[in-house]
Amino acid sequence: MQRIGGFRRKTRHKFKKNLQRKGKLSLKNYFQLFKAGERVYLTVEPNIQKGMYNPAFLGKTAVIKGKRGRCYEVLVKDINKYKTLIVHPIHLKRI
């Protein structure tokens, strides 16, 4: 059986930007650097799909594990397991 819909299905309101945030991207956020062990929030930048995580993790707190290419490996606790996500820095916010 084939799956209906994709990654961004049912995220119309979840990925919506505020009126103040609409427009150009912040280059400061696009090129920000993190060190291993640093704590971050998972926030989403809807204009950029590259390096975006699953919407289930939106708003969670994570720890930077390391770097992989342009993206970062991030450790997130999901109920009682720790999961590793690969996230672009534009979708991360420093605590």
What would the pLDDT profile of 14-39 be if each residue is shown by its tens digit?
A: 888 888 888 888 899 999 999 999 99
pLDDT of residue 94: 95
pLDDT of residue 8: 85
Instruction: Answer whether residue 8 is part of any domain.
Output: no
Question: pTM score, two decimals?
Answer: 0.88
Instruction: Answer whether residue 39 is part of any domain.
Output: yes
Instruction: Answer whether residue 12 is part of any domain.
Output: no
Q: What backbone phi and psi angles, to 5 degrees, belong to 93?
A: -130, 130
Instruction: Answer whether residue 22 is part of any domain.
Output: no
- Give the Cα separation of 28 and 56 in Å (integer): 26
Per-residue pLDDT of 55-82, as tens digits, reads 999 999 999 999 999 999 999 999 999 9
Per-residue pLDDT of 83-94, as tens digits, reads 999 999 999 999
Between the alpha carbon of residue 18 and those of residues 8, 43, 51, the distances in Å are 18, 13, 21
Residues linked to residue 63 through DSSP beta bridges, in sequence order: 39, 75
Both tokens of residue 15?
A: 């990925």
- The number of folded domains in the chain is 1
Q: Kindly report the CATH number assigned to the domain that includes residue 47.
A: 2.30.30.70
